[in-house]
Amino acid sequence: MDGVNKLTYELSHTARIMEQFNDAFKWIKDKNLKIELSRYSRYKRYIDDFYNKGNPEDILDLEAKFAKLNEAAQECIQMVQVYEAFKEVESNSLDERIEKIVSGQDFYNSVNRDDQPRDFLYELLVAAMFKKNGYEIDFEQLTDVVAKKNNKTIYIECKRIKSDSKLEQNFSKACKQLNQIDKTENTYRLVFIDVYNCFADKLKDYEYNDVFEITKEVKRVMAEHFGKPNNRLINRILDENIDNILGVVFTCTRCLWLSKVSPQFYIEKKVITPSKISDENFQALNKILSAE
């Protein structure tokens, strides 16, 4: 995760993404999880339609096809990240989570309350971040993500929220869940919350000149349309749970496109700690997020 509030990104061209996704697809198929009949098979078709089915009829047709391309590319890239992190891991609990991810509707629906497949996917994306930083992931526990390294155990609850109105409920629930974990030496607790859907309509998906423009725009939109309006609420919940969690990591996870039509899977992370966090805990948090 490269440290507190530090940018991480991976620039990928669609062809390479799909080459990697074919490997991920086979990996899941070999687990007998029926991916051939799943939404992931249809994602391959949506991407192929955009590039190989001729010119769009009009601007509305182009926008509709690009919207499917963007959502399909995002889902495929995320599954590739899971595959790259866990392709060597043998775990029935991991397979059960992947089976749940493979099910579900093709595209995110802000009206539909049931979006568990993407909730499970977000948990594995967070687990993949820690796995890539040298942590071992324990899939046998009830907490969403349990990461272990150098005698440290990190317990992480993960949430995805659709609007600001769901922040307090989900943040407080995550803290309550973590509070049930026995407090022992060298154990730490974190909350991860993806908030992209809170400001999705404020962030354009394409026509960025470079990654620096993406960085600037995502930070601006995230701060203006999520951070500032919810600052007081976030700090209150953190201070109420100062003895329970090190802090909260808000993420914006999204596939954005450069003007040369290459997808950029972007993860912006904003880390916030309790106002009176101890120096010891702050140093521990920095080490956890910087892979030390």
Assigned domain for 2 exists: no
What is the 8-class DSSP label of residue 15? H
Gap between the Cα atoms of 292 and 288, Å rounded: 6
Is residue 109 one of the residues assigned to a domain? Answer: yes
Rounded distance, CA 42 to CA 211, Å?
Answer: 29
The answer to whether residue 20 is domain-embedded is yes
So what's the pLDDT on residue 113?
A: 61
Residues in the chain with pLDDT < 70?
Answer: 1-14, 110-114, 292
Predicted confidence at residue 12, as pLDDT, reads 44
Query: Tokens for 70?
Result: 């963007």
Residue 3 belongs to some domain of the structure: no
52/71 Cα distance (integer angstroms): 17
Instruction: Assess if residue 1 is contained within a domain.
Output: no
Q: Tell me the residue range of the domain where 72 lies.
A: 8-289
Residue 102 in any domain: the answer is yes
Query: Sheet of 247-257: strands edge to edge?
Result: 8-11, 263-272, 247-257, 187-194, 152-160, 145-149, 136-137
Give the dihedral of Cα atoms 252, 114, 125, 193; nearest 10 deg. 40
| Count: domains in the chain | 1
Give residue 112's pLDDT. Answer: 61
| 143 located within any domain | yes
Q: How many helices (H) and strands (E) does the chain have?
A: 9, 7
What does residue 58 show for φ and ψ, rounded to 5 degrees? Answer: -160, -175
Q: What is the pLDDT of residue 262?
A: 82
Beta bridge partners of 237: none
